[in-house]
Amino acid sequence: MENVLGKTDRALRLCNYSSKTRKAYLLYIKEYINFSKEKGIQDKQKAVEDFLLDKHRRKQAPQTINLALNAVKFLYAEVLKDPQKIDLKFTKRNKRLPIVLSRSEIQEIIQATENAKYRLMISLGYACGLRVSEVVQLKVGDLDIAELVIHIKVAKGKKDRISILSEKLQNDLRNLIAGKNRNDFIFGSNRGGKLTTTSLQKMFRKSLARTKIKKPATFHSLRHSFATHLLENGTDVRYVQELLGHSNIRTTQIYTQVTNPRLKNIKSPL
């Protein structure tokens, strides 16, 4: 087991997988090996099928099952060098619309955040359409405050991108980075280094709880709201795609379902 996991981790690193993906792959591969041994299944195809069916029975999310399948495929193809392919298709994902907050709801959450540093982080998440991990990883050199531009480096998928910055945040950002070097984290922790994504998500939940908003929003809802509000303002969907860093425009087009003005103008017959 340890030998296989060690070889897998090495292969993942050589393929330049992110630490988050490596951790997930190793977890599911360990689960798969234990499952196969416990059930005594020798046939590879049946072992993989039963492993995934067990996840279905336990009502695990389609995204989780797909990730587990990817992990097992990587094990056989890249680590064990098994020439026989796993003949399985990915499970269908749930097509849920994103949770979008209104402009007034976002202002409520920002105002409910008592800590100035966290208040600025939440504001930045919405103003620039950033993921929680992107906010905590921002460095002083990533900002061009005068030009209202922010450079997000090595984001999801190992991609860099450019996003917009709000004029309303210029002074707060200038004050925060005063005296810092280009390579310093903008939002450093009291113990040194960057803040954790967990602490920012926790603060967002606390701020949300202080409001009367009943939506099951998360920090990522700020990114959904950023995209939706840009489309409502008439921004072309392809520009929104670039700002979000989506590889496929179909990912961005889900926001057109949330912001369809023709649907919103239809009156109920009741």
151 is a catalytic site residue: no
- Identified catalytic residue from 156, 180, 206, 210: 156
156 is a catalytic site residue: yes
76 is a catalytic site residue: no
- Identified catalytic residue from 161, 223, 224, 229: 223
Which DSSP string do the residues of the chain spell out, in sequence order? -HHHHHHHHHHHHHTT--HHHHHHHHHHHHHHHHHHHHHT---HHHHHHHHHHHHHHTT--HHHHHHHHHHHHHIIIIIS--SS----PPPPPP-PPPP---HHHHHHHHHH--SHHHHHHHHHHHHHT--HHHHHT-BGGGEETTTTEEEEEEETTTEEEEEE--GGGHHHHHHHHTT--TTSBTTB-TTSSBPPHHHHHHHHHHHHHTS---S---THHHHHHHHHHHHHTT--HHHHHHHHT-SSHHHHHHHHHHS-HHHHTPPP--
- Identified catalytic residue from 28, 32, 118, 131: 131
246 is a catalytic site residue: yes
The two structure tokens encoding residue 253: 């087009």
131 is a catalytic site residue: yes
Crossing angle (nearest 10°) for helices 19-39 and 44-57 = 110
Which residues does the annotation mark as catalytic?
A: 131, 156, 220, 223, 246, 255
